[in-house]
Amino acid sequence: MDGIITNALTKNYGSLCAVDSLTLKAENEIYGLLGPNGSGKTTTVRMLTTLLSATSGSAEVCGYDIAKEKSQVRSCISYVPQDMAVDIRLTGRENVDLFAKLYGIRDKAERKRIVADALEVVNLTDRADSMTKTYSGGMKRRLELAQALVHQPQVLFLDEPTIGLDVASRRTIWEHITKLKKSGMTILVTTHQMEEAERYCNKVGIIRRGKLIKEGAPAFLKADLKKEIITVKSDGNLPQSLPEGVTFIETNESGFIFSADKGSNVLPELTAAFEAEKSHVIYSSVREPNLEDVYMQSCGDDRGDNIPFDDRQFRNLMTRR
């Protein structure tokens, strides 16, 4: 087994259960661990990379036990943490060369070639000899990817690799990840970006408050939802009572979001429900579900505990008017 297997992996910080009985499996694929902030993604990755010991449960990476065979695990993985860390006073090439040295590639000629190759893979050859200080965020992330590649890991851990990057840089990062997967690597990526996970991951695990609540190929998860998504924009509030078979999901900038088995069939009833409470439907639409809907249905309003602005309270205020 070249990939990752976890078995009821658990991590407690005091009384807080950050990762709760996580059981997952990833092999020769891009596995996207998807969840809101504070759901336990980083904690999971740190346990699997032997930076953190698990409270209970077990896991194997490349067939090695993360608790008993730490150094074997480390010799077959690479890890790019969430917080970007490249030495800004070294050039791109020096940054990668440092990692090659630390990974134990001592032959000078061989190292030079490997470093050049890694830089080439992430398209940084042109800028390799500039100080990293002058790099953009996307370039720094690619440089970190190059650092991770010098020792040809079997399993690659990327913790929120696209966080804080612009659209084009995100695309580039994902294209590189896809290329690496084709070469046979197992890649565990964490993200809170649904569209990215849907587009690029072979398998997605949705994690909420440390629990894995859904797992499968994005298409499979969507099919599983089987429902259609109704968006209603209205000048009034959410009706007190909804028609049979209609579930309220959330309120967002496009209006109230509902799900129903057959969206178009229940739309008239739903409109009537709004009008019964003296509000008008300005706009409504029905569409196929995407991964975001799967995510919203599983995670609900849980948008993470790191966001200081509590929009649930805000919503109550708005509706009480």
Partner 1 sequence: MYRVFYYAQRDLLRWIRAPLNVVSTLAMPAAWLIFVGLALPTRFTDNYLDFITPGILVLTMLSAGLSGGSSLMFDKILGYLNKFLAMPSPRESILFGKILFITSRGLIQTTIILLIAILIGATIQPIYVYPITYLILFLFGILISSFGTTIALYIGEHDTYAAVSTFISMPLFFTSSALMPYSEMPDWLNVCAHLNPISYAIDAVRSVGAGTFPVFEMAFLLSASFVMVLISVVIFRKITVR
Interface with ligand ADP (CB under 6 A): 13, 16, 18, 35, 37-43, 305
- Say how many Å lie between the first and final Cα of the chain, rounded: 58
Scanning residues 27 to 56, which ones bind Mg ion (CB under 5 A)?
41-42
Considering the complex, what minimum distance in angstroms separates the CB of residue 8 from partner 1? 20
Partner from Mg ion, ligand ADP, partner 1, none contacting 16, C-beta within 5 to 8 A by type:
ligand ADP
Tell me if 22 sits within 8 A of 6, measured CB to CB: yes
Partner from ligand ADP, Mg ion, partner 1, none contacting 17, C-beta within 5 to 8 A by type:
none
Long-range contacts: 225-228, Cβ < 8 Å, 24+? 225/259, 225/289, 225/293, 225/294, 225/297, 226/261, 227/259, 227/260, 227/261, 227/263, 227/289, 227/293, 228/259, 228/260, 228/261, 228/262, 228/263, 228/264, 228/286, 228/287, 228/288, 228/289
Number of residues that bind Mg ion (CB under 5 A): 3
Partner from Mg ion, partner 1, ligand ADP, none contacting 75, C-beta within 5 to 8 A by type:
partner 1
List residues bridging with 248 in a β-sheet.
258
Considering the complex, what minimum distance in angstroms separates the CB of residue 214 from ligand ADP? 16
Q: 125, exposed or middle or buried, with CB in 10 Å at 0-12, 13-18, 19+?
A: middle
Q: Tell me if 321 contacts partner 1 by CB under 8 A.
A: no
Scanning residues 48 to 87, which ones bind partner 1 (CB under 8 A)?
49-53, 71, 74-75, 77-85, 87
Tell me if 202 sits within 8 A of 31, measured CB to CB: yes
From residue 99 to residue 138, the character string flagging contacts with partner 1 as x (rule: CB under 8 A) and all else as - is x-xxxx-x--------------------------------
Number of residues that bind partner 1 (CB under 8 A): 30
Considering the complex, what minimum distance in angstroms separates the CB of residue 168 from Mg ion? 23
Beta strands per DSSP E along 35-85: 56-61, 64-65, 77-80
Partner from Mg ion, ligand ADP, partner 1, none contacting 52, C-beta within 5 to 8 A by type:
partner 1
From residue 87 to residue 106, the character string flagging contacts with partner 1 as x (rule: CB under 8 A) and all else as - is x-xx---x---xx-xxxx-x
Give every strand in the sheet of 247-252, ordered side by side.
247-252, 255-260, 228-234, 281-287
Query: What is the contact surface with partner 1 in residues (CB under 8 A)?
Result: 46, 49-53, 71, 74-75, 77-85, 87, 89-90, 94, 98-99, 101-104, 106, 147
